[in-house]
Amino acid sequence: MSVLARSLVENGLQIAARRAPTRRPRTELRIPGEHSVPIYEQELWTSRQRQASSIHEIAYRACFKPQLPAYFIERLTRAGDVVYDPFSGRGTTAIEAALRGRNVIVNDVNPLTVILTYPRLELPNVTEIDARLRALRFTPRPASDMDLSMFFHPDTQYELLGLREYLYRRLRGGDEDAADRWIRMVATNRLTGHSPGFFSVYTLPPNQAVSPEDQLRINNRLKQEPEYRDIRALILKKTLQLQGRLSAAERFLLRQAAVNARLLSRDARATSDIPSGTVQLTVTSPPFLDVVQYARDNWLRCWFNGFDADKIGNDLTMSGAVEEWEAEMANVFRELYRVTRTGGWVAFEVGEVRRGTVKLEEIVAPLGVRAGFQCTAILINAQRFTKTANIWGVKNNNLGTNSNRIVLYRKA
């Protein structure tokens, strides 16, 4: 039995040893003053093995596949345990944990995370959402604070501004309910994209909003003008896609998780709202140096929700220099050590950056150890060229974040 399989079994959890990596370590990583950490490289999960839930299908830059958190949640936690993600993004870890009856804590300095995650736990019924969409009445001239005509047909822009104003009024008046939050989440996701399923004319994928100037250039190059899109119809269509394949049991588990879920918008280094020694498992993926510009890519989503994208950009960890990134992650690990309970785990996923020349897993492994964790293994998910990668034109093992490299720690 491999070191990892043995340590997982010794943890007393119901783990079939055959499901843990069984190949001998390909190499080891030496951490100064510590034991060597085994590195396992193999296909840990395949999309064929497990079809992810449709409820995940909203776009976010550098999100990981649901199979990744599922792999660790199933092996390292039991029902009722707390599962945490300090860099939660669209909330992939939270949704996978909720679907397995775990308690969830979500954190991301970007407040869009709460907008995107909570409604998919709270899960209002499709009939309620449909009724609310039908009941929407917009003021004759909703206020526009910027020119968005390069993205939207005038009638679409009128509906979008009306919806934005309606949601703002409901929030400010303390009347916002689950149906409003769901509509806000889906609309945020449908603003711009590369198919008629989005409110905009053809543009980059929804998690990468281009600037108005760049959109004008795209329109000129493609000789295109925005066509009318019925935003109510598109929100309902996406709602059916997200919820359509959920079973009654999954609906129940998501809603149950919403009751106790904690959703924070803090810097991952300072999360005093989370009591010490409470988290059984953290599954997370930090910003990889300055590879992804989350604030810039989300400027239109921020505008729709009344957030200041520049301020969020200043709050994000966005280090171009490896040493700076390392110092910030060292503080993240100190905080993770505080919130993790004895016997708990951290699965810290980093991508391959700068064409493989910087191995972030080798940088973070000693950081966790210095914070007090035992580094148990490094797992590299050897994925074949995936559908997602093909769509976005990202070459596997080349441009960055496609091969998952997970450093696994335990608090002894």
Ligand X SMILES: C[S@@+](CC[C@H](N)C(=O)[O-])C[C@H]1O[C@@H](n2cnc3c(N)ncnc32)[C@H](O)[C@@H]1O
Q: Is 120 in the site for ligand X (CB under 6 A)?
A: no
Taking the C-alpha atoms of residue 27 and residue 383, their distance in angstroms, rounded to an integer, is: 18
Among 40, 60, 304, 337, binds ligand X (CB under 6 A): 60
Contact 96, 73 (CB under 8 A): yes
Q: Which of residues 310-339 bind ligand X (CB under 6 A)?
A: 316-317
Q: Which of 109, 114, 246, 279 binds ligand X (CB under 6 A)?
A: 109
219-222: long-range pairs with CB below 8 Å, 24+: 219/150
Helices (H), ranges, 203-344:
212-222, 231-243, 248-260, 294-297, 299-305, 309-315, 322-339
Question: Which residue's CB comes closest to ligand X?
Answer: 89
Stretch that binds ligand X, among 16-24, 30-38, 61-69, 352-360 (CB under 6 A): 61-69
Strand partners, 380: 41, 405
Between CA 122 and CA 91 the distance in angstroms is: 13
Question: Shortest approach of ligand X to residue 346 CB, angstroms?
Answer: 14
Q: State the alpha helices, DSSP H only, in 43-123.
A: 67-76, 92-99, 112-122
Residue 64 interacting with ligand X (CB under 6 A):
yes
Smallest separation, CB 179 to ligand X (Å): 24
* Shortest distance in whole angstroms from residue 66 CB to ligand X: 8
Minimum Å gap between C-beta 60 and ligand X is 4
First to last CA, the chain: 21
Q: Among 103, 207, 282, 285, indicate the residue that binds ligand X (CB under 6 A).
A: 285
Task: Write out the E strands in 184-230.
Answer: none
Max intra-chain CA distance, the chain: 69
Q: Quote the least distance from Cβ 54 to ligand X, whole Å.
A: 16
Query: Per-residue x/- marks for ligand X, 4-43, CB under 6 A?
Result: ----------------------------------------
d(CA 296, CA 283): 25
Minimum CB–partner distance for residue 351 and ligand X (Å): 8
According to CB under 6 A, which residues from 209 to 268 bind ligand X?
A: 267-268
Q: Note whether 297 binds ligand X by CB under 6 A.
A: no
Size of the site for ligand X (CB under 6 A): 20
Out of 84, 182, 294, 409, the only residue in the binding site for ligand X (CB under 6 A) is: 294
Provide the CB-side half-sphere exposure for 65 (13 A, CA).
Answer: 23
* Minimum distance from residue 24 beta carbon to ligand X (Å): 30
Cβ atoms of 218 and 202 within 8 Å: the answer is: yes
The three-point CA angle 364-367-368 to 5° equals 95
Contact track, ligand X, 84-103, x by CB under 6 A: --xx-xx-x-----------
Stretch that binds ligand X, among 36-44, 108-116, 146-154, 174-182 (CB under 6 A): 108-116
Contacts of 240 (CB under 8 A, 6+ apart): 126
- Min. distance of Cβ 273 from ligand X in angstroms? 13
For binding to ligand X (CB under 6 A), which residues are involved?
Answer: 60, 62-64, 86-87, 89-90, 92, 108-110, 267-268, 285-287, 294, 316-317
